[in-house]
Copies of this chain bind each other. A is one copy, B any other.
């Protein structure tokens, strides 16, 4: 926009980078990238979600991709944007197929971190803004159809005489946001969910659950929450929003529909997906299959000797509704992550006698502290451009971010030192991760292992919810015997023991062979517990091509669902339109 006032170092780098991209054979990457450098690409250069680490990886990628991608027109973006100063700035460019944005962070004039991201496909833009449809032509015409006629026809035919080009299994926030983007891109998609209505997944969770992220991180694409929306949203309110969103965005949604099997037909290059709907078994034949079934697979229930003999009530945390009616009951909650804590609080609030069994050390971060921190981020500013905010957040690849999170964890430990000290003294087994990089990294590495404290830690610190450490030896008719020989009498046992990995859905729905071929989902390959290497540098298999043609994964929290649904939607649209999408895979 106003290139004149772009910081000169940034303008110069962008110009030289553009020249290198135009003639990669002549490029001297040492003059563009520092010794330590990262290039994170979101489907712009690589048609993949990938971070290249180091000059060699970058040179190899550019050599492979440059000709086909034809990136050009590199120009500094508006210097009034945030994250613009003498050592960093935004730029725009285009490829053979797309309009893209980039951000570079310099150290001594050389790129330390580079982000490139596709924003829209040229000639296949979303039907918004100046491209909004007219809705109607102002003339009489025999046989023309109204909006309702078309919606009713789609309801009658989609999945029957008309096959969806894309089938999305799972109608939570991930499935719906992706479907909304596909709708605006004109990609025929169908969302199926075993539950009846959008939001029912949230409704089924325990009554006291609220979102842990503040509202400004949680917006859905195209339809931001009204500005009186509470800072933290109840699970039932977000459930209603999912329903509202599906309706407002005209998402084609089949509730009460169970996906039982899926098989890829290599010759037809399409899926055959078996579903049951209203007692009827149907075969759907989409070209693309997206699993948006959530980060978790089936419930994980550890096999504990004697569990079958327990005379009280025992259930998985997923079946915990509310603590109502639990007054006076002796409740043992096995587990020490978010759900375990929230259920302990709920039971305590309903006058139960609660004990938590902690089997491994747990990270804790105070929601109130995170709230104070988050007040200062760009997302929270009035009038923030959410799309830009997402790019800003993305301009921090996982390797440098790991170091950043170590520092952030140190910061939290210092501001909440008294809190952590009290909690540790109470017998709670507190840690900050095996490399002390805290809960954010634990989320990316294994989607668990932490508690965002919304009140439970005070109950533990004050002894109102005692914590028992160690493994369980046996469950008896009336309680839990620990490996150290101690005994916890119990009327109720809650297994807050988590879920199986999401990749197991692939084995169940498709085949063990495809599950094995695709490999694990989520995790960075950090080599820490629950996240074996090798280092991947991005979340495995998420929002990008997998080893199985036509199979995609869409998952994560609301922020990730919003941001990465764009990249997945654009990849799907490009394939539907037959655009060249040369996928670059590293390693």
Contact = CB atoms under 8 A, between A and B. Distances in A.
Interface of A: 126-144, 146-149, 151, 184, 207-208, 210, 215, 222-223, 226-234, 236-237, 240-241, 243-244, 247-249, 345, 348-351, 366-368, 371, 382, 453-456, 458-459
A226 B140 contact: no
Given A136-B454, A138-B454, A139-B455, A144 B349 contact: yes
A530 to B, nearest CB: 27
A227 B128 contact: yes
A74 B207 CA distance: 50
A146 B207 contact: yes
A456 B348 CA distance: 69
A128 B455 contact: no
Contact of A458 (B139, B147, B345, B456): B139
A248 B230 CA distance: 12
Given A136-B234, A138-B367, A142-B349, A226 B210 contact: no
B368 A138 contact: yes
A133 B231 CA distance: 6
A135 B234 contact: yes
A537 to B, nearest CB: 34
A228 B234 contact: no
A417 to B, nearest CB: 19
The count of identical subunits is: 2
A455 to B, nearest CB: 4
A419 B240 CA distance: 49
A458 to B, nearest CB: 6
Contacts of A222: 226-228
A459 B349 CA distance: 70
Given A129-B227, A146-B236, A241-B248, 14 more contacts: A126-B228, A129-B228, A134-B232, A135-B231, A135-B234, A136-B234, A138-B367, A142-B351, A144-B349, A146-B208, A148-B207, A148-B237, A223-B226, A226-B249
B248 A133 contact: no
A135 B241 CA distance: 15
A210 B350 CA distance: 53
B140 A456 contact: yes
Give the 6 A-B CB pairs with smallest separation, nearest first.
A135-B230, A147-B234, A140-B455, A148-B236, A135-B232, A222-B226
Contacts of A210: 135-136
A199 to B, nearest CB: 11
Contacts of A137: 455
A129 B227 CA distance: 5
Contacts of A134: 230-232
B147 A236 contact: yes
A242 to B, nearest CB: 11
A138 B227 CA distance: 21
Nearest to A142: B349
B147 A215 contact: no
A133 B228 contact: yes
Contacts of A131: 228
Contacts of A147: 230, 233-234, 236-237
Nearest to A346: B140
Contact of A247 (B240, B351, B455): B240
A132 B115 CA distance: 34
A137 B367 CA distance: 10
Nearest to A203: B148
B349 A141 contact: yes
Contacts of A130: 382
Nearest to A132: B228
A296 B161 CA distance: 44
Nearest to A464: B140
A131 to B, nearest CB: 8
Contacts of A366: 138
Given A207-B148, A227-B222, A345 B132 contact: no
A231 B132 contact: yes
A225 B133 CA distance: 13
B249 A247 contact: no
A138 B453 contact: yes
Contact of A133 (B129, B141, B230): B230
13 contacts: A132-B230, A134-B232, A136-B232, A140-B349, A141-B455, A143-B349, A184-B228, A222-B227, A222-B228, A223-B223, A226-B248, A243-B247, A244-B248
B223 A148 contact: no
A454 B137 CA distance: 8
B132 A229 contact: yes
Given A129-B227, A222-B227, A237-B147, A140 B247 contact: no
Contacts of A240: 247-248
A426 to B, nearest CB: 15
